[in-house]
Amino acid sequence: MIDSGNLRSEDGLDVGDGRSHKPGDVRSVGRFDEERLMSVLDGILAGVREDLEQRKRATPLAELRSRAADVAPALDPLPAFRAPGVSIIAEVKRKSPSKGALADIPDPASLAAQYAAGGAAAISVLTESRRFGGSLADLDAVRARVDVPVLRKDFIVDPYQLWEARAHGADLALLMVVSLDDGRLTDLMGLCKELGLTPLVEAHTADEVRRAVAAGAELLGINARDLTTLDVDRTVFADLVTGIPEGAVRVAESGVTGPKDVAEYRGWGADVVLVGEALVRSGDPRSAVGEFIEAAGA
């Protein structure tokens, strides 16, 4: 949705010390740890921007704009997400910073096709290369293969990345509240609207949910991972989902190991559940998607 300050295992911020923290969480982090975390977060952003600057030099924004103008209009995922029952966003995910290699995925398009055949409402494609082994080439391959909406999942901090997403055929883009101030979040959401992209705005705390709602998020994800311990507590979703207003689509992220977890999220009000690791490790991703959907409707 990172090694030198690891991004997330499923969707948490792992700072590489066996725990996970959020800047400013002084309840569980000492002054030294908080300062260390800030330097780690700065390192994450520096790494992302370093890769970004290389891509900007290779492909000027004007060229991206031209490419984006030539791709088919973005698909709107919200009607499917608002349909009765639970929707699954199935993720193409090779590895994570905390767990290392998850699955050998030589053909991401084939995996995505299996997800779609199983009933996935959308496909998430990790495009961050250093920590998750993803790429824009993966996004291209998946977009060319499936007819359902495709999410670009990356650490998006710059408008250029949204132009990339659209030029490579993405229909949705992940925006993490934790990495964006209010002004930048609003600006990036505005550009998403301009480009036809649907932003999946991801929050980890009640304050971040509030900020996402204030920015006008229609598709709001809640991460169930405890950012101080890396433990997953799905009841966090139940606690925070009450902050999402009626009409917005509620996405549950992290902590899915099987169908019962999807059913639990659905019972707490999730319209959509994003699943990565459990699917790539399932051995039969098409059937697994179907089982998740069926369990939530039981």
Which of the residues 91, 208, 264, 277 is marked catalytic? 91
232-241 burial, b at 16+ Cβ within 10 Å, e below that, comes to bebebbbebb
Amino acid sitting at position 233: D
93 is catalytic: yes
Considering only CA atoms, which of 84, 96, 93 is closest in space to residue 115? 93
Which of the residues 6, 10, 93, 164 is marked catalytic? 93
91 is catalytic: yes
Under a CB-based contact definition with an 8 Å cutoff, are residues 272 and 251 in contact?
Answer: yes
Residue that the structure tokens 């792992």 belong to: 14
Can you give the C-alpha Rg of the chain in angstroms?
Answer: 18
Distance of CA 166 to the CA centre of its chain: 16
Which of the residues 10, 20, 153, 164 is marked catalytic? 153
Which of the residues 202, 208, 264, 277 is marked catalytic? 202
218 is catalytic: no
Which of the residues 124, 179, 254, 264 is marked catalytic? 254
Interhelix angle 285-297/108-118, rounded to 10 degrees, is 30
Which of the residues 10, 164, 208, 253 is marked catalytic? 253
* Beta-sheet pairing, 198-203 with 272-275: unpaired
What is the Cα–Cα distance from 215 to 139, expressed in whole angstroms?
Answer: 27
264 is catalytic: no
Considering only CA atoms, which of 3, 23, 4 is closest in space to residue 228? 23
Considering only CA atoms, which of 275, 226, 218 is closest in space to residue 249? 218
253 is catalytic: yes
Say how many Å lie between the first and final Cα of the chain, rounded. Answer: 28
Which of the residues 124, 128, 223, 277 is marked catalytic? 223
Positions marked active-site:
91, 93, 153, 202, 223, 253-254
